[in-house]
Amino acid sequence: MIRVTSSQRGEPIFHLRSGDSSYVFTVFHGYLLHLYCGAQISDDDVEYLLVRIGHDSVVPRPADTYQEDKWFSLDVATQEYPTNGSGDFRKSALAVRLMEKDGRTSALAGTSTTSLRYESYEIVKGKPTVDAQPAVYAGEDEAETLILTCKDPASGVTFKLYYTAFRDFSAICRRAVIENTSREQLPLDVLQAYSASVDFTSIEPQPELLHLWGNWGDERHIERSPIGHNTVSISSKRGASSHHHNPFAALVTKNTTETSGLAVGISLIYSGNFEIAADTDSFGTTRLMAGINPVDFTWRLEPGESFVTPEAVLSISEEGLGKMSRTFHKLYREHLCRGAWKDKTRPVLVNNWEATYFNFDDEKLLAIAKEAADCGIEMLVMDDGWFGLRNSDTTSLGDWFVNEDKIRCGMKKLVEQVNALGLKFGIWFEPEMVSPVSELYKAHPEWCLHIEGRDKSIARDQYVLDMTRQDVRDYLFDSMAKVLSSANIEYVKWDFNRNLTEVGSAWLPAERRGEIFHRFVLGTYELLERLLTAFPHILLEGCSSGGGRYDPAMLYYSPQYWTSDDTDAMERLEIQLGTSMVYPASSMSCHVSDCPNHQTGRNTSFRTRGHVAMGGAFGYELDLTKLTDEEKALIRQQVQEYHRYYDVINRGDLYRLILPTDTVNSKCGKCASWMYVSEDKSEALVTFVVIRTSVKPIYFLKLQGLDPKAQYIDEESGAVYYGDTLMKAGLNLCKRYTDGESVVIHLVKKQ
Ligand code: DGJ
């Protein structure tokens, strides 16, 4: 997977062959220069790709290469991990600053010029664990990791760069480690440390940054922004990866489609403030980088201490966005998600949030559970409102003990009764929050994030707990563990309903307060890990007012995530297909909810609601006691269908056929379509939804991913087609549809 050869100067060239991609870089007079990232190539020595033209006088040359290579300038070179202040005036990946201590100083102190020179490399089998942060994992025969050791010659500070290449995935994982080995034994402030940076030459005809923007109830819409000679960047300063920008972007060309063209996705395994930026310099090189947002970030390293960046994952495709997504899906499903539920078939659940909001008691829950059992649903989830005095969102977060006015029979008895009906039982928590009206806040007002002397902003009547504190995490662990051990609870929905403001922490000294945002995220990870270690059987579902923290790091703990608080099937089409740019269907929690829909007021047929919710981890979110017999019969049918199609949806390959935003649909109304194909191509499930019908409903749907030479039977009609016919000529779906009508076609390979 990783080959190291020698350049004519005797310096190493690293060729990482990962899946069917190549990633090549070289050492040039000690500088790490990027050479190639794309479809696999045969040559190792591609140093001829370096830009070697001479430049104008404003471009500085490094002192140590100037005599030998007059053309060489860091400001023009394609770099692997660009640093600040040494002659590359583009965006830097790395900047550190030596500080003074106890009267000791250095000429370098207070300056942020940073230089990185290659010293040595090591290749290890598999993928070593660098620290406790979430990361992709791989077995010894599945991956190789290249570890480069570099130094800043003036300060002696060490930088380690990690690159993992995979046998079966066209993906590269990257991260950096900064070790304070400063010669003067001074403290070091890390000012910015991105996880990865890649310089691409000549992205033709025009580079674009594809990214996922959104809002509450409106997450992950696909947008393509042209990258001119300026920086295009997406970021979060909210303390969470956010509804507004997902920590993912893809470098594409103007001509990239689902099935053709360059698509290099970069996905950051991180749940806090991040930035992903791309810009094209005046020489035509496009730099793509991702990492912790340097705004509101510094990290103090005392001598001997290290800082590890989160991991960034590159998915490299020259066959369009579809392939890039499928690499992310499989890699995250198989090498990021963990635990007992990673491969286990997830239960179909009913959640009482939209059924009752805060207005429920044990009897109401049991009534829903009885209907659920009758319909074949497998788990009841008791959402927000079961604890403290929580009858509205104004109180009790932090008071994680059962409200016995509502759950009169007690937790144990309630769960026993639900289990007796044949259902599992799940519960909701929002651990990182506290209500000002709560016993917890009364006892520990200093436990929330705050800055003495400043007012605390409030959102949804709650404050954010200071997750950097060990005592806070211990309290949360103990109180949650008490609930989780009190009954047979098999699922937890972990919510997070506001973002961080007035980010201060009383226990950290001033020089460490730039660490709070990142420490908050690390504190949450620690609590998640501790709870899952103590309760390994629990299926954790992440949530953040819907999908406000739907990121790869959360999938490391929770293999499924509540995709959005907008449960309207038509709205969900765009949200779910946007989410599928990076995240596998198995991670997308999708529920059939009531009509008129609570968020939009729209009416959509029960059948279509089911078809759309089958785009991921399936469930219901409505009052089952209020349904007609006909609707209950439909639920029984949907649950059976979901079981039948479970493997192809959750373990198959996704092909996006029509996005609701595709302009081409205007000639035949507005629609959306996608399909899953099993890995062995023996079956496929196609979903087609007409969002807004048209006077000329002409739909020929060209499928993808089938075996061209095999014959497939349409299970419902009995029609038989060759795979190539379905992919080249398409299915004839021309008929008059009503708005919101949908079709699901199950194709099975003929033996
Ligand atoms: C926001 C979540 O997204 C909802 O599903 C629900 O759990 C509420 N919070 C409860 O407060």
Say yes or no: CB of residue 362 within 6 Å of ligand 1. Answer: no
Say yes or no: CB of residue 497 within 6 Å of ligand 1. Answer: yes
> Which residue's CA is the nearest one to ligand 1's atom 2?
545
Please choose from 384, 435, 560, 575 the residue to mutate so as to test ligand 1's pocket, defined by most ligand atoms within 8 A of CB.
Answer: 384
| Whether the Cβ atoms of residue 113 and residue 131 lie closer than 8 Å to each other | no
Stated length of the chain: 751
pLDDT at residue 665, as a whole number: 58
Instruction: Give 543 Cα–ligand 1 centroid separation in angstroms.
Output: 7
> Which residue's CA is the nearest one to ligand 1's atom 11?
384
Quote the longest CA-to-CA distance of the chain.
Answer: 85
| Whether the Cβ atoms of residue 558 and residue 540 lie closer than 8 Å to each other | yes
Say yes or no: CB of residue 567 within 6 Å of ligand 1. Answer: no
pLDDT at residue 202, as a whole number: 81
Instruction: Give 356 Cα–ligand 1 centroid separation in angstroms.
Output: 12
Instruction: Give 495 Cα–ligand 1 centroid separation in angstroms.
Output: 7
Say yes or no: CB of residue 525 within 6 Å of ligand 1. Answer: no
- Is this prediction's pTM over 0.75? yes
Say yes or no: CB of residue 621 within 6 Å of ligand 1. Answer: no
Ligand 1 atom with the smallest distance to the CA of 544 is 3
pLDDT at residue 70, as a whole number: 87
pLDDT at residue 669, as a whole number: 81
| Geometric angle at alpha carbon 496, from 295 and 431, rounded to 5° | 110
Say which DSSP state 436 is in. Answer: S
> Which residue's CA is the nearest one to ligand 1's atom 4?
545
Say yes or no: CB of residue 428 within 6 Å of ligand 1. Answer: yes
Say which DSSP state 273 is in. Answer: S
Instruction: Give 430 Cα–ligand 1 centroid separation in angstroms.
Output: 9
> Which residue's CA is the nearest one to ligand 1's atom 6?
353
Helix (H, G, I), strand (E, B) or coil at 329: helix
Which among 308, 423, 333 is positioned nearest to 376, based on CA atoms? 423
Say yes or no: CB of residue 565 within 6 Å of ligand 1. Answer: yes
Please choose from 499, 545, 561, 591 the residue to mutate so as to test ligand 1's pocket, defined by most ligand atoms within 8 A of CB.
Answer: 545
Which among 618, 598, 612 is positioned nearest to 217, based on CA atoms? 598
Radius of gyration for the alpha carbons in the chain, expressed in angstroms and rounded = 27
Blockwise average pLDDT, block size 10, the chain, 751 residues:
95 98 97 97 94 77 90 94 96 97 94 98 97 97 98 98 98 98 97 98 92 98 95 97 98 98 98 97 94 98 98 98 98 97 97 98 98 98 98 98 97 98 98 98 97 96 98 98 98 98 94 97 98 98 98 98 98 98 98 98 98 97 97 97 97 96 71 97 97 87 97 97 98 93 97 88
Instruction: Give 243 Cα–ligand 1 centroid separation in angstroms.
Output: 14
| Whether the Cβ atoms of residue 74 and residue 87 lie closer than 8 Å to each other | yes
* Dist. CA 235–CA 82, nearest whole Å: 20
Query: What are the residue numbers of the active site?
Result: 495, 565
